[in-house]
Amino acid sequence: MAGRDRHIHIASIGALFIEKAHAMSSFSIYIVGMLILIGGLAYGAHLAGLAPQWIAVGVVVLLGLAIVKAVSRTRRPDPPAH
């Protein structure tokens, strides 16, 4: 029985690792998409003639919002307390 219990424990650790890897992948994809969007907006602002300091302010604000939104979208709910 001890061997069987160990097999089940290792399988559950593997499943947990796969879930965490998937969550990191979703976060990474979300951040990369937001970086592309922010870069496009910054380039458009540059072509429109906005001052570089205001473009930098907009980029910093949008990066902060992107990180907060990415964390909230990819965070898994806490398990219920028993």
Backbone torsions φ then ψ of 77, nearest 5 degrees = -65, 150
- Mean pLDDT, the chain, whole residue set: 80
Residue of higher predicted confidence among 35 and 10: 35
**In Å, how far from its chain's centre is CA 60?**
17
C-alpha gyration radius of the chain: 21
Match 């496009």 to its residue by tokens: 40
**Residue range 31-40: average pLDDT?**
94
pTM: 0.63
Q: pLDDT tens digits, residue range 57-76?
A: 999 999 999 999 988 887 77
Match 């709910």 to its residue by tokens: 77
- What is residue 39's predicted lDDT score, i.e. its pLDDT? 96
Q: pLDDT tens digits, residue range 45-58?
A: 999 999 999 999 99
Lowest average pLDDT, out of 3-17, 31-45, 51-65, goes to 3-17
